[in-house]
Amino acid sequence: MNDLTTNLEIQIELEKLEQYLTLNDATWQALADAGTNNLRALREHIEQEMYDQHRKGFQHLASWTRWLSIKQLAKLAYAVGAKMAARLVGEMDPYFAVKVARRLTPDFLGEIAAQADPRKIREIIRRLPAETIREVALKQIQEKQFLLLGRFADALSAPSIREVVNAVKDDGALLNIAFYMENTTQLSNVIRMIDNSRLASIVRSGTENIDLWPKAIWVIDHVEGELKSRLGNIMAEQDERTLDSLVGVAHRQQLWGPVLRALSVINPRYHRKIVNLPALRNNSVITDLVNAAVSKNLLEETLPLVKAMQRDYQEVVAHTALRQGEEVAEAVVQAAHQSGQWDLILDLAQFLGDDERNMMAKLPSSHNPSVIEALMRNAAKSGKTDLLLDFARRFHREGLQTVVEISLRDGGDLLQAFLDAARDTRNGWQAIATAVSVVDAPDMLRDIGRVYQRQPPQDQQAFREAANETGLWPRLEQALPA
């Protein structure tokens, strides 16, 4: 049943089903493909059918047990055995069941817990003394019953959680239990009760052991808000060698979704350290990372990480993203636009070759006036107007018209910025002349003429020559203000 999926949630559900079912490989694969929710529904139905066997009979029998004393019931529990006791206790009033349970040994309680319907004994577990829970947990940990412990951890009271965490010295065991918990709100509650140094030790146990690392990242991914960043920061504090090997695991096991979500909430001071790890200097790793960011809708969170990368890493990211095709390139542009991260896109665009720039200029977003305006204003602000001019000459007609229209706003401030840049840019004058050559409207030609007349004579001449080549000059000359 191994290697059917890299999705940890599906893996957990398959593991749970494996306790009950013996299936052939094709069936396991079909189930793995069905997704977490479907698997959970199937597992819960099987459990329901199993626990429903003789349920009415046990309910009837439980109603008679109230005639017995607590002492007699405890004695009886041993006599009937764990399986029958588990079913009976699930149908008893939790108030009495707890009184009986207090008289049983931790070993026997563990056996009962393994046989009982978790939904039925949740209330009993919550009311058991913390010391009893601790003893049961220690015994179950010894037997590596993490799946069972995870299910019952969902029902533990705050004092019991503290008692167990303090008693269990094995950090890896605690991580395993957390991994199998089903109630993520309770998981966050548990994590909140653990002090920082112990938490650091537990996360470290995950980062130091490659088998545990996916479980650690799963836990980090499933806790709430500020806890996610607290755990993520602990992870990020590890030395570079450890983090580098974790990147390898994340890549092999396709854990980029949870990793990116964790990285998006860690302290930005760790970004530089993580995104420049040697393991990331690999095309296939970067490809997976980019694809995960797109498919998991995490591009906005991923862009700040790319910003923290060294230039050579950024170059790999830029080429890799474009290699994934127009859809990915469009998603990146949209994410940058939504989150106001145009400065990064302009940085990345500098690395692109001719074909890549042509592709960018033909993206659907280059038809969007608000995208074009944001691109132009950011290019002007960051002094990358030469880059914009290079893109402008690749734009389609409507895009160019929008560029000119926007550049003429506010008295032509943006057009002025581009003219200033044209002086030092190869083919800069031609790029501007090409862009403005699409203009037919007399009022726009007049506005262009006004800006033209503000330029020094040598710039006017350079622009005139370029405008002549594009056929713009005769129209512009006519429109020049007297």
Partner 1 sequence: MNNKDAIERMHQRVGFLSYLPEPVTQDLDRAVDDYLESEKSRLNKAIDTGVQALPLWLRSIARSALR
Residues lying near partner 1 in the complex (CB under 8 A) are found at 20-24, 26-27, 30-31, 34-35, 38, 41-42, 45-46, 49-50, 53-54, 56-58, 60-61, 64, 68, 76, 79-81, 83-85, 87
- Which residues are within 8 A (CB) of 411 and not within 5 positions of it... i.e. 6 or more apart? none
Shortest reach from residue 174's CB to partner 1, in Å: 31
Short-list 232, 218, 226, 231, CA closest to 270: 232
Shortest reach from residue 37's CB to partner 1, in Å: 9
Shortest reach from residue 107's CB to partner 1, in Å: 18
- Return the exposure string of 374-386: e unless at least 16 CB atoms fall within 10 Å of the residue's CB, then b: bbbbbbbeeebbb
Contact 271, 308 (CB under 8 A): yes
> What totals of helices (H) and strands (E) does the chain contain, helices first?
34, 0
Shortest reach from residue 361's CB to partner 1, in Å: 43
Shortest reach from residue 32's CB to partner 1, in Å: 11
Nearer to partner 1, 42 or 168 (CB): 42
Nearer to partner 1, 91 or 171 (CB): 91
Give the largest CA-CA distance in the chain: 112
Residue 426: Cβ within 10 Å count: 11
Residue 100: Cβ within 10 Å count: 24
Nearer to partner 1, 81 or 411 (CB): 81
Nearer to partner 1, 81 or 471 (CB): 81
CA–CA distance, 418 with 434 (Å, rounded to integer): 13
Shortest reach from residue 27's CB to partner 1, in Å: 4
Nearer to partner 1, 83 or 426 (CB): 83
Residues 311, 316, 319, 321, CA torsion sign: negative
DSSP state of 92: S
Nearer to partner 1, 40 or 198 (CB): 40
Nearer to partner 1, 34 or 444 (CB): 34
How distant, in Å, are the alpha carbons of 328, 355, 411, 444, 469 from that of 464? 40, 29, 21, 17, 9
Shortest reach from residue 28's CB to partner 1, in Å: 9
